[in-house]
Structure 1
C-alpha cells in the first residue's frame, strides 16, 4: 500500500513538471521544494533544481527504496536506543554496499528516543541521489488530522547537535598541514661559555631573543583512538624544523681544534648579525585530546625524534661602506640526532606549542652543554 501511494505521488509530480518548467521564465532558482502529504500521515518532500531532475526519479527505483528505508529506519532506531544521546543521526551508503544498482548515494536518518513508539515522534530520512537532489520523508507519530506544529527550539537544537555528531563521526582521521613560528632558548646551561684554549673567557652566553627564531612546517596524520565518541587522537607525521641561535653583542660562533665555541670579536669588526642555524627532519608522536562537545579545544602531549640535515653559521657586518654576509656550512660538533618532548594547547584558531630537547645541542665535551627550548604559535593545523 505504501509503495503504491509513493508511486502515485511520484506520477503526479512528474505530470506537474512541465507546468513548473513553463512557469519559470527568469531562469531556475537554486532549488525547488515539493511537499506531498500522504494519507498515512507521512510527508514526502523532494528538493530538485529543475524539472529534468524530477523526470530522472524513476531510474532510481524509488518503490524498492521505500521498502529498503524500513530496514534502515529500524537499524537507526536500534542504534538510537543504544546511544547515550536523545537524538542520533545514522548514515547509510546503499550505492557503496551494492554498486551499479542505481541505489542512492547516501541516506541520513535522524531519530530520537521515545517510549511507546516504534520510531519516535518525528524521524527524518534524507536521501541523496547522485548528489543532485534530495528526498526527505517525515514519519509523524501523531494519529489526529491536525498539522504537525513547527519544531520547538529544543528540537531544532537537538537536530543541529545530531548533525554535529554526524560530522564528528566522519572525523575519525584527517591530514593537517601545520606551520609553527616561535623562538629558541638554551636552558640547563652547565657551562656559561666555551672558549678555545688560550683565550680569555667572555661574559655568559646570551641569545638575541628576536633573532633566535624557530620555524616548523609539516604534515600531521591524525587518527582517532577508541570508539566514535572517543576524544583521543594519535598524531604522527614528517616535519621540517629550522632553528636559529643568534648571539647578543659582538660575539661569534667559532669552530676550531674540534671545539665549537662562542668568542668575542677582538679585531674591531662590529657584527650586525651572528648566528648558528640548523635544519632538521623531525617525526613527532603525540596524543591529542579533543573533548566531545568542545571540538575547538585541543590539548596534546608526546615526543619527537629528529635528524640534523644541515647546519651553518652566518656573519653579517658593515665594513668599508659595504655590507658583508659570510656563510659557512659544517657540522659544528652538533648532535646529529635530537629527541625530546612537546605539547600543544589551543582553542579555536589560537594554538600554542612548546618543544624541549632532552639531549644537548652539541656533543659532549665539544661545545656548549645545553638543551634547546622552542615555543611559540601554531599558525596552521
Structure 2
C-alpha cells in the first residue's frame, strides 16, 4: 500500500470515522478495547485498537508519514529475503528502539512476514508492540496483498518526515554533500623580496584577502557504527590577495617576474588592488564525528586531510577614483604563479558550527619570479561533510 493512500485513509479516519463496537469487528479485535474501523471503496480497511477512548483521541497527535518511511525499508528487506527462499516465505524482526535507545518515538519491535506461496500473491505483516494499534488490510484483484500494521509513539512532536530523512541520512554508509567555505587568506613564511636590490613589501589586507570554495564531497563511513568518515572532492577555490597600502601586483615581462608596485600618492588612490586566483582542487581526508547520546545529533567533529590542485585562471583588479569617475582595471595573466599546488587541511565543528584551515605547502609564486611566501586560508564551512 502506498504511503499516500495510507495517510489519506487516516485523514478520512480523523474526519469521518465513527466508533464501532467489538461485536462488529473480527475476532482479533474483540475484547474490552475501544476500536475504530474504516472501510474504503478500494477494498482497503483499517482497524484501530486502543485500551480506552483517551488513547484513541491521542492518535490525532501522531504523525504517520515518517513511520511509513521506516516500514518501507523493512518491508523491502523482507520481500527481498522472501524471493531468495524456497517457498517465498520469510519472517524478519527488527528492533528500532534498541538500535536507537535515545529516541522515545522508535517502535519497540517490528515483525515483517512475507508469504509468497502463490505466484502473484504476497502477504506482509508488520507489528509494533506499542499501546496503540492500527491494522491496514489491502486486497487487489489477482494479487491478494495483505498488509497488517500496528503502530504508536509517545513522542509525536519528534515524528516527521524531515526527522526520519535526517536519521536515515545519518545511518547511511555513503553519500554526497555540497559545502561552501568562506574565509580569509594570509601569507606565512615570508621572505624579503628585493629584486634589483630594492625591497618590495607585500603585506596583505586582512579583510580584503578573501577565500571562497565550492566543494562537492563523496563520503563513506568506515563501518556500520563507526564514527570515522572518509571523504574526497572535487572543489573550486577562489583566492584573493589584496595588498596593504597603495600597492599592486604587476607582471614585469622584461625581467620575467612579478613586481610589487608602489603607486605614488599624488596619482591614483587605490580602493582595491587584488590578485585573484582560481584553482580546481581535489581534497581528501577523514573526519571523526561524536554524537549527543540524548538527541543523536552531531555534538563534535574533527577532521584532517590534504589536497592537490591546479590553477585554472588568474587576474589583477584595480579600483580607484580619477577625474570624478570610478575606474576598474582588470588584467589577466599567469603572474608567475605556481600552476600546481598542494597542502594540508583541518576542520573542527561543534553542533552546527564548523571551522576550517588550509595550508599550502608550496610557494604561491614560482621560485625567484615573485615574492617567496606560502598561503593559509581559514574561515567557516556552510554545509555537511
- Give me the TM-score of the superposition, normalised by structure 2: 0.62
Give the Å deviation of 1:95.
2.9
Task: Give runs of aligned pairs for residues 77-88 of structure 1, distance below 5 A.
Answer: none
1:209 pairs with 2:198:
no
- The 8 Å contact of residues 94 and 109 in structure 2, kept in 1 or not, is answered as yes
- SS state at 2:79 partner: helix
1:350 equivalent in structure 2: 353
Gaps of 5+ in 1: 1-19, 30-34, 58-89, 114-121, 141-149, 154-162
**In 2: Cα distance, 1:125 partner to 1:368 partner:** 67
- The 8 Å contact of residues 169 and 229 in structure 1, kept in 2 or not, is answered as no
- The 8 Å contact of residues 204 and 243 in structure 2, kept in 1 or not, is answered as yes
1:138 pairs with 2:136:
no
1:251 pairs with 2:235:
no
- The 8 Å contact of residues 319 and 329 in structure 2, kept in 1 or not, is answered as yes
Give the Å deviation of 1:138.
2.6
1:264 equivalent in structure 2: 262
2:306 equivalent in structure 1: 303
Give the Å deviation of 1:174.
1.6
* Matched residue count: 286
CA change 1:319–1:50 in 2 (3 A) is farther
1:63 equivalent in structure 2: none
1:177 equivalent in structure 2: 178
Q: CA RMSD in A?
A: 4.5
1:241 pairs with 2:237:
yes
- Give me the TM-score of the superposition, normalised by structure 1: 0.63
Runs of 4+ in 1 over 3 A off after TM superposition: 23-29, 35-39, 46-54, 96-101, 126-129, 150-153, 163-170, 292-295
- The 8 Å contact of residues 307 and 337 in structure 1, kept in 2 or not, is answered as yes
Gaps of 5+ in 2: 1-8, 19-24, 47-72, 99-106, 115-123, 132-151, 156-163
Task: Give runs of aligned pairs for residues 145-156 of structure 1, distance below 5 A.
Answer: none
Give the Å deviation of 1:136.
2.5
1:361 equivalent in structure 2: 364
**In 2: Cα distance, 1:310 partner to 1:244 partner:** 12
**In 2: Cα distance, 1:175 partner to 1:124 partner:** 31
1:291 equivalent in structure 2: 290
1:329 equivalent in structure 2: 332
2:44 equivalent in structure 1: 55
- The 8 Å contact of residues 169 and 228 in structure 1, kept in 2 or not, is answered as no
1:124 equivalent in structure 2: 109
- The 8 Å contact of residues 208 and 248 in structure 1, kept in 2 or not, is answered as yes
1:16 equivalent in structure 2: none
- The 8 Å contact of residues 191 and 373 in structure 2, kept in 1 or not, is answered as yes
1:230 corresponds, among 226, 233, 237, to: 226
Alignment deviations for residues 268-305 of structure 1 (CA, whole Å, 9 cap, x no partner): 22111101010000110111111354641211101000
